[in-house]
Amino acid sequence: MARTAVFLLALATLATGCQNNCQQICVRMADYATECGFTVPDAELDTCIDDFAKIETKEDRQTCSEYGDATTLRNQWTCDELEIYWAIAAE
């Protein structure tokens, strides 16, 4: 079941086309959510990716590049915090 969720998430990622470093954070956080035992709805992932598509400054993109890797996200977010973040995003 977990493999199916990861596959579907990867497929959704491919369907979104090119992504900037900030948009990749959405995908990495959704991947992490799967590892934590919950699924981020496709609509929420799409909204996150769309919101981060609006990042235009070089400085913001650089920040995403520096702090958006999977290891840093795992060090900065607990599963509980991640679940709260996605729940708030769904409201």
What domain count does the chain have?
A: 1
Four-CA torsion 15, 20, 24, 27, nearest 10 degrees: -30
Domain that includes residue 36, residue range: 2-90
C-beta neighbour count of 17 within 10 angstroms = 8
Give the pLDDT of residue 56.
82
pTM, full prediction? 0.73
Going residue by residue through the chain (91 aa), what tens digit of pLDDT does each one get?
544 444 444 444 444 456 889 999 999 999 999 999 999 999 999 999 999 998 888 899 899 999 899 999 999 999 999 999 988 876 7
Give the pLDDT of residue 89.
74
